[in-house]
Amino acid sequence: MSILNAAKFLMGKVPNTTRVFRGVEPSLNFNKSLSGKMYPKNMTGRFFTESLPDASWYARRGNTLTGKVQYVDLPQKDFNIGRKMSERTPNPRLGGEVILPKKYINKIETDYIQTVAARIKATLNYLLQPQRRFSKGGLAKVLNV
């Protein structure tokens, strides 16, 4: 087994690449409402970050329980291009933001372990904050709270 194959096996990715992440919440219309207003439509689905915790947060924001964490391994050259594209957008930029080059859109994969972790965190957050669940009716309305 060569060193390159050992690195691929142990790291789960090719050397000299950077893994970027994206949190997706398919059940919310939030992403569709911003498309075309804040960012051009051809940018939809191309915003990624270097930070796995940020992507996990985006997958569970809005108390969605159906979010996903996705990733792409980018060669260093394309990673730098994506970072420069992000710096050139006129809108606010998040730390570690990378705009995915178009040729990598079909290479997006779902990180199932991180998706499950994000959904568990969202579920626990939902269950541990009952005042949010019942504040607009349900038990709170019955108890006149």
Residue 21: per-residue pLDDT = 94
pLDDT in tens, 27-70: 655 555 555 566 677 777 888 999 999 999 888 887 778 889 99
Determine which of 81-85, 91-95, 103-107, 120-124 has the lowest per-residue pLDDT on average: 91-95
pTM: 0.71
Q: In total, how many domains does the chain have?
A: 1
Q: Which domain holds residue 83?
A: 3-143
pLDDT tier at 72 (50, 70, 90 boundaries)?
very high
Best-predicted range by mean pLDDT (8-17, 61-70, 86-95, 110-119): 110-119
Detail the DSSP E strand segments found in 28-144. 47-49, 68-75, 97-99, 109-110
Token readout for 50 is 């270097």
